[in-house]
Structure 1
Amino acid sequence: MFVPISDDNRLRHLPYQYVTVGLIAVNVLVYVFFTSGIFVDGLEPVAYSFGVIPAVFNDFRELPSQYAVVPEGMTLVTYQFVHGGFLHLVSNMLFLWVFGDNVEDAMGHWRFLAFYLLCGAGAGLAHDLVQPRSVAPLVGASGAVSGVIAAYLMLHPKVKVWVLVLWRLPLRLPASWVLGFWVVLQVVMVASTGSDEEVAWWAHIGGLVTGAVLVLFMRRRGVPLFDRGLVTATQPNRR
């Protein structure tokens, strides 16, 4: 498995990735204060109050009044900031940290924020479509991050990414290898496990598709796809 740790891809349009860092900060704060158990043991009520519950979303079941904190439509946004465990949080935020800054750079701050939330909403809807009667809350930023991954793969497939292979061996590989492997893994897991697993694989697919479509329209004017025009270092001619 590839674990990304950094990329060789400087910002071209923005001085700093404020939205990416802000999203990470909000996710971490929500986890620490509401679901980690450090201050309150609130994972279950938070998940049921702010997660996407397909059976409730589709009016097959009614949410108990103590959990009915926000309108069901709003949970397509709120679920993105709730994580069920430390590794769940860290893995999502690591991918967002490595790849989010350049997608934000390609779109601008506000369009990237809209892009991120729309990818998460698309992921939630995909999960809801596949499991319309599920009573398990969908939580986590994986769907939104999947959209970021799709956008980065379409924008910068040739950029080199530092990864840890099996959490130990550092390698510098093209983004197309690292993220392409991740995309293929999601498709394989959907095909092999179906929709009854603990991991919401269809939400990942929904986020990927949403991100791939939205980046076509939400990137800055003049920002190319697939690293067109990228100048790479070459060996000097020898005479």
Structure 2
Amino acid sequence: MIPIGDNNPSHRTPVVTWVFLISCVLVFLWQLSLPEAGFRASVTQFGLIPRALFQAPFGHPDLLIPPVLSLFTSMFLHGGLLHLIGNMMFLYVFANNIEDSMGHGRFIVFYFLCGMAAALTQALMAPDSTIPMVGASGAISGVLGAYLMLHPFAWIRLLMPYIVIFFIWVPAWLMLGLWFAFQLLQSMASPADQAGVAFGAHAGGFVAGMVLVLFFKRPGVRLFR
């Protein structure tokens, strides 16, 4: 299921959301401009490698940047076009309302904290892994967690690309609840030290977003609206 819209308009222009979205697209275009070996190197050099992070967080001889900085740089890299499109659709649909509820500055801090919490969740599940983690999905998972806390009764329009393509509207609590349950079950069933989707990061980011929204929402913004 792919979210393509909701019935929950924002009251402010989501400037930060658009900056994050455009930044991810531009970084991916830069990755595509590299030769195949360069594309792989961009993931290795700027993605989050758990073993490097825990063994040499402030400087690693094989990496261009200190591994601790990859907690941030990894959020803007993607492993392929479908990876990018999927993440950007979730960001586009859900982030504007969360930015609206927090304000631009608080939303920036919230987004990065959720991304860090997500990455650390996955890294702690396999601290000796040498597989780079990339993608904005951890931070976006935090946005989803916050959306569930603020707008559980909003309606989400989903594209369902199965045997035929069709569209349905579902309440946010149902869509996000099922999404989180799937991430949690997959994180328990999938080895964390193997390449693939970082389900643990998704689950960790979602929980972080549910908690952090309590502290980052503007005064007067009610939960479960």
In which range does the TM-score fall when normalised by the shorter chain?
over 0.9
1:84 Cα deviation after fit: 0.5
Alignment partner of 1:92 is 2:91 = no
* Structure 1 residue aligned with 2:147: 152
Listed as ranges, the matches of 1:66-145 within 5 Å are: 68-145=63-140
- Give, in whole Å, the separation in 1 of the partners of 2:8 and 2:113: 25
* Structure 2 residue aligned with 1:211: 209
Q: Which moved more, 1:19-28 or 1:166-175?
A: 166-175
Alignment partner of 1:184 is 2:181 = yes
1:166 Cα deviation after fit: 2.9
Contact kept? 2:28, 2:78, Cα under 8 Å: yes
* Structure 1 residue aligned with 2:157: 162
- Give, in whole Å, the separation in 2 of the partners of 1:40 and 1:64: 23
Misfit runs of 4+, over 4 Å: 60-64
Once the two structures are aligned, what percentage of the paired residues are identical? Answer: 42
- Give, in whole Å, the separation in 2 of the partners of 1:199 and 1:172: 26
Contact kept? 1:145, 1:207, Cα under 8 Å: yes
Contact kept? 1:53, 1:137, Cα under 8 Å: yes
Q: State the Cα deviation string for residues 105-155 of structure 1 (Å, max 9, x = none).
A: 000011111111111111111111111000111111110010000001111
Contact kept? 2:131, 2:193, Cα under 8 Å: no
* Structure 1 residue aligned with 2:200: 202
Tell me the amino acid that sits aligned with residue 51 of structure 1. Answer: G
1:100 Cα deviation after fit: 0.4
- Give, in whole Å, the separation in 2 of the partners of 1:11 and 1:94: 16
1:180 Cα deviation after fit: 1.3
Contact kept? 1:60, 1:133, Cα under 8 Å: no
Structure 1 portions without partners, runs of 5+ = 228-239
TM-score by length of 2: 0.93
Aligned to 2:55, the other structure's residue is in SS state coil
Alignment partner of 1:21 is 2:18 = yes
**Rg larger for:** 1
Aligned to 2:177, the other structure's residue is in SS state helix
* Structure 1 residue aligned with 2:2: 3
Contact kept? 2:10, 2:97, Cα under 8 Å: yes
TM-score by length of 1: 0.87
Q: Which moved more, 1:86-95 or 1:196-205?
A: 196-205
- Give, in whole Å, the separation in 1 of the partners of 2:34 and 2:86: 22
Contact kept? 2:122, 2:200, Cα under 8 Å: yes
- Give, in whole Å, the separation in 1 of the partners of 2:201 and 2:185: 14
- Give, in whole Å, the separation in 2 of the partners of 1:59 and 1:143: 22
Contact kept? 1:17, 1:104, Cα under 8 Å: yes
Structure 2 portions without partners, runs of 5+ = none
Identify the structure with the greater helix proportion: 2
* Structure 1 residue aligned with 2:28: 31
1:40 Cα deviation after fit: 4.2
* Structure 1 residue aligned with 2:219: 221
Contact kept? 2:129, 2:193, Cα under 8 Å: no
- Give, in whole Å, the separation in 2 of the partners of 1:70 and 1:210: 26
